[in-house]
Amino acid sequence: MGWLVWVLLAVALAVGEVLTPGLFFLGPVALAAGAAALAALLGVGALGSLLVFIVCSVASLGVLRPIARRHVRLPALSRTGTDALVGRKGVVTRKVDRHGGRVRIGGEEWSARSYLEDQVLAEGQTVDVIQIEGATALVAE
């Protein structure tokens, strides 16, 4: 029956991790509680389960938390998807104004609008990608 207590603790800690994003403290401890539940299920007793929990908590916090914290602070070059386009250069392929146009960004052609409402960007002009809205790049000189 001790394994059930560990499973419930693991679930509670996992839920706590989800509800407190950014800390990544409860997740590794939840994994340790899962390991303690497995140990209890294998019959190592209450003291053995507690020892497994302590050792696994220290190990998982020492290994997983530094990795997770590094990934939270990814530099701009590691951004993906449309976030990776912000700040890049593009070339106007069809006149861009506040109503629309086309730009080539990194080998792909995108629909575009000028970031500044009164700005008109001519074909062949190099522009900066300021923001992405859906499938439209907002660009400026």
How confident is the model over 76-95, as a mean pLDDT? 80
Does position 54 have pLDDT exceeding 90, yes or no?
yes
**Percent of the residues in the chain that have a pLDDT greater than 90, as a whole number:** 58
Residues 13-51 have pLDDT tens digits of: 999 888 876 667 888 999 999 999 999 999 999 999 999
Tell me how far apart the alpha carbons of residues 100 and 113 are, in angstroms, rounded to a whole number. Answer: 5
pLDDT band at 58 (very low <50, low <70, confident <90, very high): very high
Does position 127 have pLDDT exceeding 70, yes or no?
yes
Helix 2-19 crosses helix 26-41 at what angle (to 10 degrees)?
A: 170
Q: Mean pLDDT across the chain, nearest whole number?
A: 88
Closest CA to 91 of 119, 122, 113: 122
Tell me how far apart the alpha carbons of residues 108 and 131 are, in angstroms, rounded to a whole number. Answer: 16
Q: Cα torsion for 13, 19, 23, 24, to the nearest 10°?
A: 50
pLDDT of residue 22: 64
